[in-house]
Amino acid sequence: MEKGRIIKAYAGYYYVLSFENNKIYETKLRGRFRQEDFDFYVGDKVKFSVIDEKEETGVIEGLLPRATKLDRPAVANVDQVVLVFASQQPELNYRLLDRFLLLVEAYEFEVLICLNKMDLVGLEKAKELMANYVDIGYRVVYTSAENNQGLSELKKELQNRLSVLAGPSGVGKSSLLNQLSPEAEMAVDEVSQKIKRGKHTTRHVELITLDNSGLVVDTPGFTSLNIDFITKRELVYFFREMKEYISKCKFNDCLHFHEPKCRIKQAVQEGEIAQSRYDSYLNFLSEIEGEDDQW
Ligand SMILES: Nc1nc2c(ncn2[C@@H]2O[C@H](COP(=O)(O)OP(=O)(O)O)[C@@H](O)[C@H]2O)c(=O)[nH]1
Ligand SMILES: [Mg+2]
Ligand SMILES: [Zn+2]
């Protein structure tokens, strides 16, 4: 029995990238999985047996433990979310960046920020734009899909992991994926040869395989920016720089808004917490307010 990862699912076939030899096997599910209405997702790690080594066909025999599952697109075992923003065009919207970060923290994904279009502002200015985020411990890479800058740094961050890109439209997500594409097209070609379909068929989510064992979802994630599943009380825990102050407020049910002797507000006044991050916090708090009966 071999092990591998589903990198594409299409028309009842599952394309499994073998951990042993890096080949892509065209597999079907063992009958009992079909009867049991069992769900297998792109990204899932599976056990499979090879039927024909030359034809690279096989049968999926079992599902290995699934660490995470992302919805829309449905992908299992995502290791990190790469939040792509542009340094300009469109102008960097910090409130939106904080919303993406909130979602990523709430879902407990690892995150990398990719500040693209650095060619429009230069590296120094790009770093300035992200200084607050670097300070609170977020990893940031600076890229230009246009001028081919920072792409090897980005690729290094994608090594040996399954990543999904997310971010507003127009920031360069597709351009970045295309830049990573010599490898991507090889993988896609290999699959499409096997299923012998034209390019105009309905798109299904699939994983792009990089030559450094990185995998990238070919469709952006986090398309819903809805935050109303988060309660007012837990909100602050998803602002990583605020966590250390929470227990130091005078009132232990402090929402860090108009309560007196709030340690978080003090930290904002003293410049330990960035004002714009705190403003985002208040903004999300009031957004959640109407939908949360707890308080
Ligand atoms: N100047 C500059 N333009 C870029 C860069 N990356 C993408 N673009 C342009 O930005 C626009 C949107 O890019 P696209 O990849 O479609 O963004 P997406 O909506 O996030 O997928 C296109 O016109 C790209 O040519 C970059 O690094 N620098
Ligand atoms: Mg796009
Ligand atoms: Zn407080």
Q: DSSP letters along 214-248, please?
A: -EEESS--------TTS-HHHHGGGSTTTGGGGGG
**Is 70 exceeded by the pLDDT of residue 255?**
yes
Lowest-pLDDT choice from 79-83, 198-202, 216-220: 198-202
Q: Which residues contact 174 (CB under 8 A, 6 or more apart)?
A: none
Atom 26, ligand 1: which residue's CA is nearest? Answer: 117
Q: Is 50 exceeded by the pLDDT of residue 186?
A: no
242 CB near ligand 1 (under 6 Å): no
Closest ligand 1 atom to the C-alpha of 175? 15
Question: Per-residue confidence at 184, pLDDT binned at 50, 70, 90?
Answer: low
Atom in ligand 1 nearest the alpha carbon of residue 116: 27
Domain boundary among 21, 48, 65: 65
Do 120 and 240 sit in the same domain of this protein? no
Ligand 2 centre to CA of 199 (Å) is 17
- Measured from the Cβ of residue 212, the count of other Cβ atoms closer than 10 Å reads 12
Task: Give the CATH number for residue 44.
Answer: 2.40.50.140
Residues 78 and 197 in one domain: yes
For residue 209, the CA-to-ligand 1 centroid distance in Å is 22
Query: What is the dihedral sign for C-alpha 142, 146, 151, 155?
Result: positive
* CATH code for position 143: 3.40.50.300
Position with higher pLDDT, 250 vs 38: 250
79 shares its domain with 213: yes
Classify residue 224: in a domain, yes or no.
no
The pLDDT of residue 236 is 98
The answer to whether residue 226 is domain-embedded is no
**Whether residue 213 sits in one domain with residue 279:** no
Query: Which two tokens mark 294?
Result: 């707890």
User: 78 and 120, same structural domain?
Assistant: yes
Q: What are phi and psi of 263, to 5 degrees?
A: -70, -30
Ligand 1 centre distance from Cα of residue 119 (Å): 11
